[in-house]
Amino acid sequence: MPAELYTSALAILEKLVAFDTTSRRSNLVLIEWVEAYLAEHEIASTRVASADKNKANLYATIGPVAEGGVILSGHSDVVPVDGQDWSSDPWVLTQADGKLFGRGTCDMKGFLALALAAAPHFKHGKKPVHLAISYDEEVGCLGAPAMIAEIAGKLPAPRLAIIGEPSMMKVINGHKGICVHEVEILGHEAHSSHTQLGLSANMIAIELMHMLADLARRLFEKAPEDSPFVPPHATLTIGEMEGGTAANILARRARFLFDLRTPPDDDAEDILAEFKAHASALDGEMKAAFPESGITITQLSNAPPLKPQADSEAEDFVRGLTGDNNPAGVVAYAAEAGQFQQAGFPTVICGPGSIEQAHQPDEFIAIDQMRQGAAFMERLATNLQGA
């Protein structure tokens, strides 16, 4: 069956790659295709739409409606190709040198293609597979929580969750959390020669960003020696900044985004407490001078870390399918695994491909990884048939 499953997965991957599901766009064309594919195999599915109805999660129970099932989860969105130098069309699956090129092949449509190819085989299990496909993972794991809540609240209790992020089919039992904040500063415009008549949003933004840069340095300096993560400490970076209209005008508005990634033992709110207190004090001073001015901090995303757990049922189960007896690894990137774990599901990451190929021009997944993934799905189907 692995050879047949691999061939089927290849055809499905070609379809999935052709859908431009960059996070800024709708993913509904892909979702509609998956719904139709599952319906052909007499598998019902359920959408969980975004607030604006422009995107949707999709989940489906394959096999009996029973407790003890296995969740297979992956995200449908991909990162942009803008400005990247591709050797082939990123939206056309291209095979060369033992690799399959295309945006999302590795992260993570390869895994979704394998799970969908295995769906007809999962139908015969004594325990179900719950397929879960999310949106907006790449912009802060925004879509999955609503779907996870439905899975936890409406389905017979699943046994565990496998998140198919690229891990070279190795077991990953930990990842960092991520929270992204937008900071907007409103000042008061005036001629730059009369600073007493106005308030520069840019100057305030620089003060706040300097504080964050100093915080990032302090996080580096207190890196724990025994951390399995690389880098071992929490990281903070400023990813976007903008402000001002001309050199001789005190800037009315400035804005920046920052990204904080924390190992499981660190608390993001504790790390940011001093920064937020300082921003609040500054906001009060600004409003006292110019009531319309001020600082607004908005949390755009907050995905929890995946915490390594001793004697994890998910880890033991997946090791039985992969044959991987090496110590479980951890990853510095954030994923939806922490959200599934937070909902009460024993969770691990295990999927085909390498994260080193993700988000790159000429993104690819090795054919050998797809074959290993097909064998994994075959063993999972066999396991559930004897459960």
Q: Is 226 part of the annotated catalytic residue set?
A: no
Q: Which residue shows structure tokens 């004697």?
A: 311
Beta-ladder partners of 295: 185
Among the listed residues 20, 35, 77, 315, the single catalytic one is: 77
Crossing angle between the packed helical segments 110-122 and 367-385, to the nearest 10 degrees = 30
Which one-letter DSSP state was computed for residue 258? Answer: E
d(CA 296, CA 279): 9
From residue 320, alpha-carbon distances to 130, 180, 223 in Å are 19, 37, 34
Asked if the peptide bond before residue 231 counts as cis, ω within 30 degrees of 0, the response is yes
Catalytic residue among 20, 35, 107, 137: 137
Catalytic annotation present for 89? no
Residues 313 and 157: beta-carbon distance below 8 Å? no
- Which of 207, 185, 179 lies closest to 271, judged by CA? 179
Quickly list DSSP for 36-76.
Answer: HHHHHTT---EEEE-TTSS-EEEEEEES-S-SS-EEEEEE-
Give yes or no for a contact between 267 and 287, defined as CB atoms under 8 angstroms apart: no
Judge residue 289's burial from the number of C-beta atoms within 10 Å of its C-beta, 0-12 exposed, 13-18 middle, 19 or more buried. Answer: exposed
- CB neighbour class for 42 (10 Å; exposed up to 12, middle 13-18, buried from 19): exposed
Structure tokens at 117: 């190819």
Name the residue type at position 382: T
Name which of 227, 185, 229 is nearest 203 in CA terms. 185
By annotation, the residues acting in catalysis are 77, 137
